[in-house]
Amino acid sequence: MKSGIGKLVVIALSVVTFELCTSQAQIMNQIDFKASQPFTVANTTLAAGSYVIRPVSGAGQTVLEVSSASGKPSVMVDVNSAPPDAQGGGSHLIFNKYKNVLALSEVFPGGGNTGYQLLQGHPEQMAAKTEQPTKQTVASTSK
């Protein structure tokens, strides 16, 4: 009887631990940021301006929507979980800067939480074949 209760406790603790780990990677509502120059997200180039990043409801934490503050244009992008950034601290974004391409690469909600690694789009894949990117960090606001 004790071994049955012990197994139940271990399973319950495993589920709680898993839920806590996955909840750290969540953007609660949105992340706001300003881009001073055009940039790419997946296969879409967006103009300089104010943008909002939100999780796509019903897609779990595997798809994010990046849209202008007015709502259009917008693009959805597949993401993978990324370990917390060593810079830690507040909410921020990391862009990969190539000669002719500025690509949104990672999103960190802040507070030492797990972030998101965006899947590369075709423009970034082509640029990465011939050059190494430099990383550019942009502060953002997490809401």
Cα–Cα distance between 93 and 11 in angstroms, integer? Answer: 36
Instruction: Supply the pLDDT for residue 45.
Output: 95
The pLDDT, as a whole number, for residue 85 is 75
- Cα separation, 105 vs 140, in Å, equals 14
End-to-end Cα, the chain, rounded Å: 48
For residue range 60-117, what is the model confidence (pLDDT) as tens digits? 678 999 999 888 899 999 999 988 777 666 889 999 999 999 999 999 987 777 889 9
Least confident among 35-49, 95-109, 112-126: 112-126
Work out the pLDDT band at 3, boundaries 50, 70, 90. low
- pTM for this structure? 0.76
- CB 142 within 8 Å of CB 27: yes
Percent above pLDDT 70 for the chain: 76
Q: Tokens representing 90?
A: 């507040």
pLDDT at 40 over 80: yes
For residue 88, what pLDDT is reported?
A: 61
